[in-house]
Structure 1
Amino acid sequence: MIIPVDALEPDTLYSLAEAFVLREGTDYGEQEVELDVKVQQVLEKLKSGDAVLVYSELHESVDIKRKEDIQPSDVESEGNEGY
C-alpha cells in the first residue's frame, strides 16, 4: 500500500527518510555528503513524487521506493488503490 507523504507528521517522515538513508548506505562517490543532506534529498524525492512510501502488511514495515520500481502488489490495499 502506498502511503501519501502528507498523511504523516513531518517528524515521522523525516525519521523514515533518515532510517532509509542509514539502512541503504548510499554511496555518493569520492565526496562525503552529510547525513542531513542525504535525508533532505530523499524528502525532496518523496515530495516531488519521484519516490513513494510503501507499507508492507506482510512485513509490517514501511519502505521508500523509486516510483518506477513500484510493483502492482505495492499499490493494492483496502480501498486505497493507486494511493
Structure 2
Amino acid sequence: MIIPWQQIDPATLENVIEAFVLREGTDYGAEERSLTQKVDDVRRQLQSGEAVLVWSELHETVNIMPRGAFRG
C-alpha cells in the first residue's frame, strides 16, 4: 500500500528516508555524496512522484521504491 509522504510527520519521514539511504548503500560513482545529499535526493524523488513510500502488510515494514517497481 502506498503511503502519501505528505501525511507523515516531517521528523518521521526524515528518519525513514535516512534509514533507507543507510540501508541501500547505493553507489554514486566516482563522486561520493554526503548523507544529507542522499537524503535530499530521495526526498526530491518522493516529492516528484518518481519514488513512493510503501507499507508492506506482510513484513510490517515501510520502504521507499521507484513508482514503476511498485505492484500494489
TM-score normalised by the shorter chain: which range applies?
over 0.9
TM-score, normalised to structure 1, is 0.84
TM-score, normalised to structure 2, is 0.96
Query: Which 5+ residue runs of structure 1 have no aligned equivalent?
Result: 75-83
Count of aligned positions: 72
2:7 matches 1:7: yes
Q: Secondary structure at the match of 1:17?
A: helix
Distance in 1 between residues matched to 2:37 and 2:19, nearest whole Å = 14
Partner residue of 2:48? 48
Partner residue of 2:59? 59
| Residue deviations 1:7-59 (CA, integer Å, cap 9, x gap) | 10111111111001000001001111000000000001001111000100111
Percent identity between matched residues is 53
Distance in 1 between residues matched to 2:12 and 2:40, nearest whole Å = 14
Q: Give the partner amino acid of 1:28.
A: Y
Question: Structure 1: which 4+ aligned runs deviate by more than 3 Å?
Answer: none
> Residues 7-26 of structure 1: matches in 2 within 5 Å?
7-26=7-26
Query: Which 5+ residue runs of structure 2 have no aligned equivalent?
Result: none
The structure with more radius of gyration? 1
Q: Secondary structure at the match of 2:53?
A: strand
How much is the aligned-residue C-alpha RMSD, in angstroms? 0.7
